[in-house]
Amino acid sequence: MSATARKTAPLPDDIRAMKGVTPIVSLTAYTTPMARMMDAECDVVLVGDSVGMVLHGLPSTLGVTMEMMILHGRAVARGLHKAMLVIDMPFGSYEESPAQAFRNAARLMRETGAVAVKLEGGQHMAQTIAFLVARGVPVMAHIGLTPQSVNTLGGYKVQGRGAAAETLLADAIAVSDAGAFSVVLEKLPATLAEQITAAIPIPTIGIGAGAGCDGQILVVDDMLGLFTAFKPKFVRHYANLGAEGEAAIAAYAEDVRARRFPGPEHAFADKVPEA
Ligand code: KIV
């Protein structure tokens, strides 16, 4: 069913059932107005830890806290009725042990209303994913370029080229076998993403992984042209809101300086006009 025709938000099983049937549409959101804007079109809305870089000006996602995720998660939840809300587990909130992961995943779901969590990692996170799923926490996995590991991956590089492809395929199979309901494939060769998509029974959601995935996700500020610090190759600008915003602010500043704003239509009369 198309997102616009749907009356209620899908559940993880509905997303899983979309594999091979219809492409999954997903974007990130961090605020209520943005969530409202995408609710009717998206199947999945992710409160990504990219919020740290996009809205808070952090140099990476490593400084994102549980409190930040909860604040933005609540804001996004208020704007959604038709899309499924997934929330990222921030760096340091799940890697220590399955018990730590469950404690923090439960807090994220309880305090935001998110239906599922996303966490980064392949084979080494499989045990944690199985632990969470067995305890009622639906998990979206995330493999390939995992930004929380930027310092061990040596930067925001394409992953899975050459011999590393085998490891990524094994990662995808491991998270699928562990019970994840879907997996984000970030920044890997399109041919490998296609191979992974064919090899596992759960949907793959690509970002910089080519057109062969079961769905796509983008950071909303990237595709709207609002985040312009840098433009990854895999982003298409569907609007140029950053440039439009700058032009609008410059026009406002000029109007204020020239006393052209406010106009009479923006001012209040001394007497209430008669009806
Ligand atoms: O944090 C994020 O926005 C993400 C998406 C890029 C998948 O993880």
58 and 91 Cβ atoms separated by less than 8 Å:
no
- What integer pLDDT is reported at residue 48 of this predicted model? 98
45 and 76 Cβ atoms separated by less than 8 Å:
yes
Nearest to 174 by CA among 130, 216, 209: 130
Residue nearest to atom 5 of ligand 1 (CA): 48
CB atoms within 10 A of CB 37: 16
Q: What is the pLDDT of residues 245-273, one digit of tens each?
A: 999 999 999 999 999 999 999 999 988 87
Q: State if residue 88 touches ligand 1 by the CB under 6 angstroms criterion.
A: yes
- What integer pLDDT is reported at residue 230 of this predicted model? 81
Q: What is the pLDDT of residues 59-106, one digit of tens each?
A: 999 999 999 999 999 999 999 999 999 999 999 999 999 999 999 999
Q: Among 24, 217, 223, say which to mutate for ligand 1: greatest number of ligand atoms within 8 Å of CB.
A: 217
Please tell me the distance from the alpha carbon of residue 220 to that of residue 25, in angstroms, as a whole number. 12
Cα of 248 vs centre of ligand 1, distance in Å, is 29
Does the annotation mark 95 as catalytic? no
Residue nearest to atom 3 of ligand 1 (CA): 48
The two structure tokens encoding residue 112:
């935001």
Of the chain, the end-to-end C-alpha distance in Å amounts to 49
Taking phi first (over 0 means left), then psi (-120 to 50 degrees means alpha), and beta for anything else, what does residue 219 get? beta
Q: State if residue 47 touches ligand 1 by the CB under 6 angstroms criterion.
A: no
Q: State if residue 48 touches ligand 1 by the CB under 6 angstroms criterion.
A: yes
- What integer pLDDT is reported at residue 275 of this predicted model? 66
Q: Among 31, 42, 46, 47, say which to mutate for ligand 1: greatest number of ligand atoms within 8 Å of CB.
A: 46
Calculate the CA 25 to chain-centre distance: 11
Strand partners, 84: 44
State the catalytic residue, choosing from 67, 186, 194, 265: 186
CATH tag, 12-240: 3.20.20.60
Please tell me the distance from the alpha carbon of residue 59 to that of residue 53, in angstroms, as a whole number. 6
Report which ligand 1 atom has the smallest distance to the Cα of 217.
7
- What integer pLDDT is reported at residue 229 of this predicted model? 80
Classify residue 224 by its DSSP letter: T
- What integer pLDDT is reported at residue 171 of this predicted model? 98
Question: What does R_g of the chain's alpha carbons equal in angstroms?
Answer: 21
Within the chain, which residues score under 50 in pLDDT? none
Please tell me the distance from the alpha carbon of residue 252 to that of residue 256, in angstroms, as a whole number. 6
Taking phi first (over 0 means left), then psi (-120 to 50 degrees means alpha), and beta for anything else, what does residue 218 get? beta
Taking phi first (over 0 means left), then psi (-120 to 50 degrees means alpha), and beta for anything else, what does residue 113 get? left
* Domain ranges for the chain: 12-240
